[in-house]
Amino acid sequence: MQTRCNAHGSAIAAVGFWLAGLMFTGCDVPDRHDIAMFRKPAVWEVEPPTDPTAEVVIKPASLVPANSHADSAQQDWQSWYLHHADSEGVIGGGVMKSQRTDSGQIKLTLNERTVVKSGVKEIADDADSSWQQNAIGCLHANDQTFWHAEDGRLSRIECRVRRGPLQISKYIEVSGDEIRFDVDLLTSQTKKRVVHHGELGGPLAVYQSLLGNPLGAREQRESKVLLPIQETLADLQIRRRRDALAKRMTEQGLVLDSLHEAVALVSIDEVRRRERYYWYDDEGVVQATNITGERRFTYRCSEEQYQSQVHELLHDVDPITVHVPGKLIPPGKVRQLAVSVDLSPRSKDASAPGGNTPPSGIIAAPRQYVQTIDENHQKVITAARPVSAKKLAGRFVVYEPRPFTADRAVTKLIDYRSSGVRKVLNVASSMAGMSNREKAIELNRTVHSLLSFVPLSVGLRPAGTIASANIADSTEHAILLMAMLRAKGVPCRMALGIRHSPLATEGSTTNRFAYHAWVIAHGEEGWMSLDPTTGEMTGAECVALAIDDMANVSTQSFVDRYLATFHSMRLSVSAAVVHKGG
């Protein structure tokens, strides 16, 4: 009997997932960065030479197994899975559910949440290998619904995929020989049509094919599958391997068991391909999976195990979290915060995805003062109230640029001439005779009263759409406030950064910060910092990483640029002044 080790490979890529559903992670295919991380298989991971004269039975990977167990694949069923990495424990999980509808269709749903972590030591020939990033957790969510006809053919897919603060929706319809993609990229919509002939499966084809229909001794199944996140077709090949000892989840935890083993190869083309191992029982129920070269394993578990071990993930609603070491910030209202910044030895050569070079350290912002110690170190002070120039004594950079035309402009997101924005402006009190500063303070309160703050909303929607919503995240709060401010002639920009966000049950030795966005507006006395999620001025617990007029925003690079900033530096808290009275 072959023994397969759960050996750890390279770290999970921070950008993108692989094969939603079928690969049970989140994105369909790796990009060039993922491919570069592939490691060479160990000796025990390579299948021994097989007899070339042995017969190989090839069957299509039908969604409706053609054997005595066929009915089991069509009955209602539900499975829970945990994503697990030995060094970190449970890092996510998902639920798959299949049910027959009243119309006779098979409805298959996948709901998944995973925290992709980064913060490993950089290794470079010309760099100090002891340099280490802050520990970062980026939430990925993957919710997909597939409709199959009674004969198993895929007919429709609805897909919502989240990466950090952004959620993208896709609707795919299969009709005859045509596949129609309708994609909402938040700042734009795209439509695409692809011609396909023959039977077509979805991303969960392997699970459906094996269920109640295990592979024969030398059997190989092949089919065409539709990958909704990548918006393309791929070739699927499922091949039986010899039985193996593999880990499975039991009530007592992970144990070794004798399971059937199969390898599935999904290929879009000669470059974009990846294989995944599946370990399943005699009934074809998948018990564990692993993508070759990755340290994450996925295990089938009970509902109780899923609820208990993924409970914290399910209730952690912050899209991106950063753990900052140093002096612990005590409970209370932060009045002043001092942060030390160490720049990565590789930051000067690193580039964010899309060719954008990450900023060399923290930037100045309203009530955020930056001192450059040397080319590799900074000191940053944030304050609840402006600090006098005498105290700064020229040592710190102060944010004082003049407003530009772009700070008043209409954009795809800041559509302040839309009927939605005009409608909510009528809710605000009369602005007659008010200064720009007074207008900004009043509109900040108005947005706060109109919207309920939920950290995981869509992320980037036009202000006119947000105006008719009941809930919004910090980015959407900021977008609506910017639209209302510009409609009243007040120059403004968006600040992207982090806000101290401690968990009551965490008990950590680091300070937990979370993704946050707010607005800076220009008044008669200069730039002011407004947080529409609270209706007040931002506090010293907020640290800005970027300031943007939101003229050109790409959903493809929004999160990448944010994370690239963190990957180029390391933050630590050196001092904190807190008013414990609230």
What H or E segment, with its residue span, contains residue 114? strand 106-118
Residue 94: what are its φ and ψ, rounded to 5°?
-155, 165
Predicted confidence at residue 347, as pLDDT, reads 57
Q: Are residues 311 and 396 in the same domain?
A: no
Given 261, 286, 315, the domain boundary residue is: 315
Q: How many CB atoms lie within 10 A of CB 364?
A: 18
Predicted confidence at residue 88, as pLDDT, reads 80
Instruction: Tell me the two tokens of residue 540.
Output: 């010293």
What H or E segment, with its residue span, contains residue 485? helix 474-487
- Going by their DSSP bridges, the two strands 333-343 and 297-301 should be labelled as unpaired
C-alpha span between 235 and 258 (Å, rounded): 29
Given 286, 315, 344, the domain boundary residue is: 315
Write the CA distances from 204 to 300, 427, 519, 567, integer angstroms.
15, 48, 42, 34
Q: Are residues 333 and 305 in the same domain?
A: no
Lowest-pLDDT range of 17-31, 203-217, 258-272: 17-31
> For 149-229, where are the alpha helices, taking DSSP H only?
205-210
Lowest-pLDDT range of 110-119, 330-339, 457-466, 485-494: 110-119
Q: Are residues 260 and 364 in the same domain?
A: no
C-alpha span between 470 and 477 (Å, rounded): 11
DSSP 323-343: EE-BSPPPSSEEEEEEEEEEE
| Predicted confidence (pLDDT) at residue 419 exceeds the cutoff of 90 | yes
Report the pLDDT averaged over residues 35-51. 41
Write the CA distances from 345 to 192, 268, 299, 375, 573, integer angstroms.
43, 37, 38, 10, 20
Given 315, 344, 375, the domain boundary residue is: 315
Domain coverage including residue 245: 2-315
Instruction: Tell me the two tokens of residue 114.
Output: 């995973």
Quick check: helix, strand or coil at residue 92? strand
Residue 481: what are its φ and ψ, rounded to 5°?
-65, -40
Instruction: Tell me the two tokens of residue 403.
Output: 């407003």
Q: Is the dihedral of CA 69, 70, 74, 79 positive or negative?
A: positive
Q: Are residues 238 and 344 in the same domain?
A: no
Report the pLDDT averaged over residues 90-112. 91
Give which of 305, 263, 308 is closest to 286, Cα–Cα: 263
Angle between helices 474-487 and 436-450 (to 10 degrees): 140
| Predicted confidence (pLDDT) at residue 30 exceeds the cutoff of 70 | no
- Going by their DSSP bridges, the two strands 232-250 and 2-3 should be labelled as parallel
C-alpha span between 362 and 569 (Å, rounded): 9
C-alpha span between 256 and 386 (Å, rounded): 61
- Going by their DSSP bridges, the two strands 377-383 and 178-184 should be labelled as unpaired
Q: Are residues 287 and 327 in the same domain?
A: no
Instruction: Tell me the two tokens of residue 317.
Output: 């609603």
Q: Are residues 416 and 523 in the same domain?
A: yes
Determine the length of the chain.
582
Q: Are residues 336 and 476 in the same domain?
A: yes
Predicted confidence at residue 506, as pLDDT, reads 58
Q: Are residues 493 and 443 in the same domain?
A: yes
Residue 576 amino acid letter: A
CATH assignment at residue 494: 3.10.620.30
C-alpha span between 332 and 165 (Å, rounded): 26
β-partners of residue 492 are 521
C-alpha span between 215 and 210 (Å, rounded): 7
Q: Is the dihedral of CA 118, 573, 517, 398 positive or negative?
A: negative
pLDDT digit string (tens) for 454-507? 999 999 999 999 999 999 999 999 999 999 999 999 999 999 999 999 876 556
C-alpha span between 214 and 240 (Å, rounded): 9
User: Across the chain, what does the average pLDDT equal?
Assistant: 83
| Predicted confidence (pLDDT) at residue 34 exceeds the cutoff of 80 | no
Q: Are residues 179 and 232 in the same domain?
A: yes
Give which of 234, 211, 212, 230 is closest to 222, Cα–Cα: 234
Lowest-pLDDT range of 28-42, 350-364, 403-417: 28-42
Confidence of residue 509 (pLDDT cuts 50, 70, 90): confident
C-alpha span between 8 and 183 (Å, rounded): 36
Give which of 252, 251, 241, 253 is closest to 280, Cα–Cα: 241
Domains of the chain: total: 2
Give which of 419, 416, 549 is closest to 487, Cα–Cα: 416
C-alpha span between 241 and 263 (Å, rounded): 7
Q: Are residues 449 and 374 in the same domain?
A: yes
| Predicted confidence (pLDDT) at residue 65 exceeds the cutoff of 60 | no
C-alpha span between 559 and 462 (Å, rounded): 18
Q: Are residues 575 and 447 in the same domain?
A: yes
Three-state DSSP string of 423-474: HHHCCCCCCCCCCHHHHHHHHHHHHHHHCEECCCCCCCCCHHHHCCCCEECH
| Predicted confidence (pLDDT) at residue 37 exceeds the cutoff of 50 | no
Share of the chain residues as helix, strand and coil, in percent rounded to the nearest 5: 15, 40, 45
* Pairwise pLDDT comparison (3 vs 379), residue with the higher score: 379
Predicted confidence at residue 36, as pLDDT, reads 30
| Predicted confidence (pLDDT) at residue 67 exceeds the cutoff of 60 | no
Predicted confidence at residue 55, as pLDDT, reads 62
Instruction: Tell me the two tokens of residue 241.
Output: 């391997």
Q: Are residues 333 and 299 in the same domain?
A: no
Read off the pTM.
0.84
DSSP state of 406: G
C-alpha span between 503 and 481 (Å, rounded): 28
Instruction: Tell me the two tokens of residue 39.
Output: 């490691």
| Predicted confidence (pLDDT) at residue 31 exceeds the cutoff of 50 | no
pLDDT digit string (tens) for 150-168? 877 889 999 999 999 999 9
pLDDT digit string (tens) for 181-209? 998 887 778 899 988 888 888 888 899 89
pLDDT digit string (tens) for 528-579? 999 999 999 999 999 999 999 998 888 878 999 999 998 889 999 999 999 8
C-alpha span between 415 and 241 (Å, rounded): 57
